[in-house]
Structure 1
Amino acid sequence: MQAVNVIYRLAISLWLGGAALFTFVLTPILFRSESRDVAARIVGLFFPGYFRWGLACGVVALICRVIISGKSNFATAAIIVAMLLLCSFQAFYIEPKAAELKRRIVSFETTSKDDPLRREFAKLHGVSAVCNLSVIAGGVVLVILL
């Protein structure tokens, strides 16, 4: 049982750490050091792997949480399920739609912000950002509950 507890803690830590590193360190560095179009292309290349990472960590954590018994089991499992649902929504709905919009937008640097495609992309980006920050917040709560 001790090994399952360690794996659970590791999965949560890797999920939260990966999300925080990508969101608060790597992405801002890319957008500061590269043009908007280049940075967006690079970040877009990372998104499928980023979401697979979150889903893998979440599934491992959930399996471990189900194995581990305790009074906080339901609350932590519910948080993990919510985080997995948000990550799945991003991976299987938002990211493909956003990637398609990015392909249709010639350049974010030269296309007007009033362009319908840019406005649609901005909405998706906003929803994705809320989902991502919610996953990070859930991870912080889970770490506190450790």
Structure 2
Amino acid sequence: MSAHFLLGIFDSIYLLALAAWTGEILFFSFAVAPIVFSTLGVETGERFVRALFPRYYAWGATAGAIALPAFIAGPLCYPEFRGPRIGVQAMLILGAILLTLYSGNSLTPAINAARDEGPSGDARFRRLHFRSVVLNVLVLVVGIGLLVAFANRPAPRTSGIIEPSPVERVQREANAAHQAEPVDERGEPREPREDSPRLVDPKL
């Protein structure tokens, strides 16, 4: 497989995963949530959101876990894509994944528990809910920023890394073995054995 073909696969996976993650946040925040509470009411809407949130955060964490290795694999094909910028973007993806996992596994249960406490837990509920909104917006900003960065990535300048074929690897190993002159126990040159590998021209 050529580097160009591999980059196309990795970029496609990365874009699909990142778009699915970002699109989920946009769709839930600006379409699902307002319609649910305006149509079903506060009490029924809260029950719906409670049932939806575990799948919501699982979707985001899964999409991020797919996007991260696909993003890192791209620069492995083209050395000109490597550098600190790739490391910063990878850390942003990892940070967004961790925030999603925290929101789904720790913050959401705490919000539900505060809501179940009734009036005594209102202050705690508002504080935790505000934190959830902030983290949700932060992950959304990271996702949009990564999409913009990808859209502005320059085209590859080289043909990328060329992996040798199995036949070429065998030829190189045979040539490398021949370049090492054999010596005996006293350190003197030893005559090559008749069954030793012969020098192979890689052009043949």
TM-score range, shorter chain: 0.7 to 0.9
The one of 43, 52, 60 equivalent to 2:49 is 43
The one of 89, 101, 112 equivalent to 1:76 is 89
Name the stretch that deviates more: 63-72 or 2-11. Answer: 63-72
Q: Is 2:113 the counterpart of 1:100?
A: yes
TM-fit CA distance, 1:86: 1.2
> Greater RCO between the two (CA within 8 Å, min separation 6)?
1
How many residues are aligned here? 137
Which position in structure 1 is the counterpart of 2:164?
none
Which position in structure 2 is the counterpart of 1:20?
26
Percent identity over the alignment is: 26
**2:13 alignment partner AA:** I
TM-fit CA distance, 1:100: 2.3
C-alpha distance in structure 1 between counterparts of 2:73 and 2:103, whole Å: 27
Question: What CA deviation, in whole Å up to 9, does each residue of 1:1-58 have, x standing for no partner?
Answer: 2111100010000000011101111001111212111111111110000000000000
**1:43 alignment partner AA:** V
Runs (5+) with no aligned partner, structure 1: 106-114
Q: Highest Rg: 1 or 2?
A: 2
TM-fit CA distance, 1:101: 2.6
Runs (5+) with no aligned partner, structure 2: 1-5, 76-80, 151-204
Which position in structure 1 is the counterpart of 2:123?
119
C-alpha distance in structure 1 between counterparts of 2:116 and 2:10, whole Å: 43
**1:20 alignment partner AA:** L
Which position in structure 2 is the counterpart of 1:64?
70
What TM-score comes out, normalization by structure 1 length? 0.88
C-alpha distance in structure 1 between counterparts of 2:18 and 2:49, whole Å: 23
Runs of 4+ more than 6 Å apart? none
Question: What CA deviation, in whole Å up to 9, does each residue of 1:68-114 have, x standing for no partner?
Answer: 21244212212101211211110121011112233333xxxxxxxxx
